[in-house]
Structure 1
Amino acid sequence: MHAADICASWLDRVLRDKGILASGNRVTDTAIEPIGTGLVADSYQITISYSDPGSGPVSLVAKLTSDSEQSRAAGRSELNYAREVGFYTEIAPHLQVRVPSCFHAEIDSNNTEFVLILEDLTPARPGNQLTGCTVAETRLAVEQAARIHAPYWGSEELRGNPWMDISSSYWQRFAEMMPEWYDGFRQRYAGRLSEADIALGQEFVDNIAGYYQALERMPYTVQHGDYRPDNVLFDAHGGEVPLVVLDWQTVVYAPGVVDVAYFIGGALDAATRRANEDELLLHYHSELVDLGVEGYPFERLVQDYACATFHNFIIGVAAAMLVERTERGDDLFLSMVTNSLTHARDRDGTRHIGIHPLAAVNRG
């Protein structure tokens, strides 16, 4: 489906099926404008007019398959579109985290053409990974991460789900492709990477199987998979909602702690992170316990978190090679990779995946 297909008559049917439109009221006009900087899908704000003004949502958000063939191919092969549609229809109702309300979700049999019609949460303040977050914002994001993870923590309910329980095949493909992707990444950004970062990145790539083996030993749950500032809104609906989590195309049945390491590592500069990291982890653990998670001591969380510091590296390298190249994308993926390597040095992340300890390596 394309943006031009979202006309008044189509949206009228969607809202009527959802029970939003009263008898006698109808959608008379729509105006569509592109929003956001999505790399795999395209998003639009729909402004809506009714025969009975004020009788329905003034605006909604449409999320559609990307017009970029490269991004479309990536979204199809990685099941990104199927995962986001499945999340809103099957998983979101069972979580305690605030996500956009979904009015319509549809995908074709090839898992390529999809449409989501979602709640418009404006006015809101979008997160931005390149500028980062405050400690208070990061603490709020960590708290909401616990609300994503706790309901399915350690559950076997999602095992075998065709679009959620894909971590083993997903990780195997990443392990196989990472040497090629990283070679391309190093060549593309050679002038912006330090020799120390290039070397550590290569060392991790050479031992990536140990990383995935470590993940398999961690508790599984619903993992967002791309939990970073770009994928949250602060102060949504004019401050009524402190934080909303967006962009669920990477949701997967996998260790939840990865989301926490990914957000903290990408949201805070190194000095701020070092000064506040332990308190943020304590807060996350406390929230898990309050939400009913048992048998996961804080010491285990700290160990798992250290290993998960490499997730930013993996996603940054892979995304740079898979999606359409943009100037902002270059800056974003480079920051993800370099921040991840600094984070791993700080937390001795390699110690948990069979590589030598990094305690003696200078912090970047």
Structure 2
Amino acid sequence: MSQIKPIPTPTDITADWLAQHLGWNVSGVSAKAVGTGQVGATYRFSLTDPDPDAAQKASLIGKFMSEDPVSRATGIAQLSYVREVKFYQNYGNTKPLPIPTARYAVVDEATHDFALLMDDFPSHRPGNQLTPATLEEAKLAMGAAASIHAAWWGDKGLDTHAWLNGSQAASGMNVDGLFEMLWPAFCARYGDQINDQIRATGEAYLGRINDWITQRPGPRCLTHGDFRPDNMLFLEGDPAHPIVIVDWQTAGVGNGATDIAYYLGTALTPEMRRTHEMSLINLWIDHLEKAGVPQADTQNLWDIYRRDALAGFLMGVLASMIVAQTPRGDAMFLAMCARAAAMVSDHRSFELI
């Protein structure tokens, strides 16, 4: 059994630590909490006097266990911390992807304590779930998704990892039981903020979610699982990295159309989605085919997209009940549910189970 590397806390990331563990020579390090994540704690480490002749950055992003006990317990129970580190160890740095390069990734699978240090993109602007995505952002998201999905399209090795969501090697979860337990609490918490479409969608899927999960067709590929604006960074003028996809705590294996349904159903207003979804899905498929995905594998992706309109709604309900409650989180989860419920209604998704 390999020795687990020491797992640093944010205060451990000093100039001496960087010299010892990364071989980087800097004169100082300052840390500042950043981001809006509710399951992990994220910091920006600004580095003083990095070596201009080496592959050193002026800053790094570090992720650690949440300091909130509720969110930390959720991260442990859902394998979120283990999953993200293992994604970077097994996949993240192995092919060109629109993601940060991980410089240090270690996890203790017994305690789930972890540390992840990645390249920072300080000039990029973060996406915002509360502000509908622009058409340009949506186009960039389609290209990024295609590059991720195509990289391991049809790779049977994905299903050998028990830590990947949806893997055939993973233990099945009774999502129906979880939803039936949390749906009444969701309704009680948000009361009259829940519109008729949200309520009708939740009621329609009671007792049917396990069927929806088990009936998902292939072909299978690596999926992000939480593909939405809060997990994206943008700088349209950057030719190398116009978009960067972060937060791989929900990485999984499944059909890439689920990521697309999740994004278009939660990131765009219903009106914008109705206007642009066909052209955006076709753009995603064009990128897949240019990346080598056979045309035979792209023929039924529209129907899978329609069927998986539930994805964003399900995340909005379940996540809101199992992480620390915040005003921004409440607004975000309600927006996700409202937009996704409209998509479910538009496409009569329930009938496709």
Match of 1:228, as an amino acid? Answer: R
Is 1:203 aligned to 2:204, yes or no? Answer: yes
Measured in 1, the distance between the counterparts of 2:254 and 2:176 equals 16
Alignment partner, residue 5 of structure 2: none
Offset at residue 218 of structure 1 (A) = 2.8
Kept in 2: contact 1:223–1:255 (CA 8 A): yes
Alignment partner, residue 221 of structure 1: 221
Q: Over residues 128-153 of structure 1, what are the superposed CA-to-partner deviations in whole Å (9 max), with x where a residue is unaligned?
A: 11102111210110111011111211
Alignment partner, residue 194 of structure 1: 195
Q: Which shows bigger deviation, 2-11 or 123-132?
A: 2-11
SS in 1 for 2:109: coil
Measured in 2, the distance between the counterparts of 1:51 and 1:102 equals 18
Match of 1:125, as an amino acid? Answer: R
Partner residue of 2:20 out of 13, 18, 34: 13
Measured in 2, the distance between the counterparts of 1:51 and 1:193 equals 51
Partner residue of 1:2 out of 4, 9, 16: 9
SS in 1 for 2:61: strand
Within a 5 Å distance, the mapping from 1:319-330 to structure 2 comes to 319-330=319-330
Measured in 1, the distance between the counterparts of 2:78 and 2:186 equals 20
Is 1:131 aligned to 2:131, yes or no? Answer: yes
Offset at residue 209 of structure 1 (A) = 2.6
Q: Which shows bigger deviation, 195-204 or 97-106?
A: 195-204
Change (3 A) 1:134 1:53: closer
Alignment partner, residue 28 of structure 1: 27
Within a 5 Å distance, the mapping from 1:32-111 to structure 2 comes to 32-50=31-49, 56-111=56-111
How many residues end up aligned between the 2 structures?
A: 344
Measured in 2, the distance between the counterparts of 1:324 and 1:195 equals 26
SS in 2 for 1:317: helix
Offset at residue 328 of structure 1 (A) = 0.4
Offset at residue 241 of structure 1 (A) = 2.0
SS in 2 for 1:206: coil
Kept in 2: contact 1:121–1:236 (CA 8 A): no
Kept in 2: contact 1:123–1:237 (CA 8 A): no
Alignment partner, residue 172 of structure 1: 173
Measured in 2, the distance between the counterparts of 1:167 and 1:105 equals 22
Is 1:292 aligned to 2:292, yes or no? Answer: yes
Measured in 1, the distance between the counterparts of 2:118 and 2:126 equals 16
Offset at residue 298 of structure 1 (A) = 4.8
Within a 5 Å distance, the mapping from 1:232-243 to structure 2 comes to 232-235=232-235, 241-243=241-243
Measured in 1, the distance between the counterparts of 2:51 and 2:196 equals 64
Match of 1:8, as an amino acid? Answer: A
Offset at residue 27 of structure 1 (A) = 3.0
Measured in 2, the distance between the counterparts of 1:170 and 1:273 equals 35
Alignment partner, residue 154 of structure 2: 154
SS in 2 for 1:33: strand
Measured in 2, the distance between the counterparts of 1:197 and 1:171 equals 27
Kept in 2: contact 1:72–1:112 (CA 8 A): no
Measured in 2, the distance between the counterparts of 1:343 and 1:251 equals 23
Match of 1:85, as an amino acid? Answer: V
Kept in 1: contact 2:60–2:117 (CA 8 A): yes
Kept in 2: contact 1:123–1:236 (CA 8 A): no
Q: Over residues 2-32 of structure 1, what are the superposed CA-to-partner deviations in whole Å (9 max), with x where a residue is unaligned?
A: 222222221221221xxxx3xxxx3332110
Alignment partner, residue 281 of structure 1: 281
Offset at residue 170 of structure 1 (A) = 6.5
Q: Over residues 45-80 of structure 1, what are the superposed CA-to-partner deviations in whole Å (9 max), with x where a residue is unaligned?
A: 111124867863221111111111111111111111
Offset at residue 205 of structure 1 (A) = 2.2
Match of 1:3, as an amino acid? Answer: P
Change (3 A) 1:60 1:133: same
Match of 1:180, as an amino acid? Answer: M
SS in 1 for 2:242: strand
Measured in 1, the distance between the counterparts of 2:33 and 2:238 equals 21
Q: Which shows bigger deviation, 2-11 or 73-82?
A: 2-11
Task: Report the TM-score, using the length of structure 2 for normalisation.
Answer: 0.91
Q: Over residues 150-208 of structure 1, what are the superposed CA-to-partner deviations in whole Å (9 max), with x where a residue is unaligned?
A: 12112211112121264565663322211011111111111101234313211112322
Measured in 1, the distance between the counterparts of 2:178 and 2:91 equals 30
Give percent identity, aligned residues only.
32
Offset at residue 39 of structure 1 (A) = 0.9
Match of 1:305, as an amino acid? Answer: Y
SS in 1 for 2:116: strand
Offset at residue 236 of structure 1 (A) = 7.5
Kept in 1: contact 2:139–2:280 (CA 8 A): yes
Measured in 1, the distance between the counterparts of 2:228 and 2:95 equals 18
Alignment partner, residue 357 of structure 1: none
Offset at residue 248 of structure 1 (A) = 0.6
Q: Tell me, which stretches of 5 or more residues in structure 1 are unaligned?
A: 354-364
Alignment partner, residue 362 of structure 1: none
